[in-house]
Amino acid sequence: MNPLENIRVVLVDPKYAGNVGSICRVMMNMGITDLALVAPHKDLDWEEARKLAYSAEDMLGQLKIFKTLEEAVADCTVVAGTSARTGFYRDHAYLPREIAPVVLDSAVHHKAALVFGREDKGLFNEEIAVCTHIINIPSSELYRSLNLSHAVMICCYELFLLANNPSYVPPAECSPEADGKMRERLYETWSAMMLETEFCEKEKLDHMMLGLRRIFSRGKLTVNDARILLGVAKQTRWVAAELERLRTEK
């Protein structure tokens, strides 16, 4: 299977139909056809989108619409989100060329996603938390902000280039990678465990979970890995509950 067929481009809350249409065109240029919109602006001018899509307007009839980012990437393993901003939890960003083999290797066997934020505000922290990797596209200090369709083109181009490189050898799969649904179940279990063991206070939980997500996303998280980590958290929760029961019975 062509791994490009397993790559999904996800646009979060797009506000301009022209960008959606232009993105259909650049995706087709690069052999990627799976487009998803998360909570698109209600007043999108679909006629404008068709004009900008030009000969790729068929993609507009095939795109998927989701209410949340979690739903859009639930079946994806690698979820790479773009961010122009830097700072805490965004300082492990990859260049588009660096992330291309990570995304493509995953897409050989699984769905993988490239996530792009709003034209004006990008991705919020809670959406960055859903991503396994962060992409930062370098640009001139004269004008740092890229047009949304240009950002999509740069990322898709690097994937197309690598996928069509004769020296590229797809990896063999031992344990499959954990998808978004399984990762979220893992994070929910660890979140509950950290509260129940008083590892952190409730007020600091979101901050701690962002750090934990980054740790678990630095390498390939397989299904076997996720099952072990889930087992650790579940057993810890059981021990904590037993200790609490013994304490209250005294």
The predicted pLDDT at position 240 comes to 85
5 has pLDDT over 80: yes
The percentage of residues in the chain with a pLDDT greater than 90, rounded to a whole number, is 61
Q: Considering the entire predicted model, what is its pTM?
A: 0.79
Residue 172's pLDDT band (cuts 50, 70, 90): confident
The predicted pLDDT at position 168 comes to 85
Strand partners, 81: 115, 134
Mean pLDDT of 37-43: 91
Helix runs in the chain, H state only:
17-29, 46-53, 58-62, 69-72, 96-107, 125-128, 148-163, 180-196, 205-216, 223-249
150 has pLDDT over 70: yes
Which range scores top for mean pLDDT: 32-36, 183-187, 225-229?
32-36
92 has pLDDT over 80: no
Q: Which residue has the tokens 């797809």?
A: 170
Write b or e for each residue in 207-216: b if 16 or more Cβ atoms lie within 10 A of its Cβ, otherwise e. ebbeeebbeb
Fold category of 3-163 in CATH: Alpha/beta knot (3.40.1280)
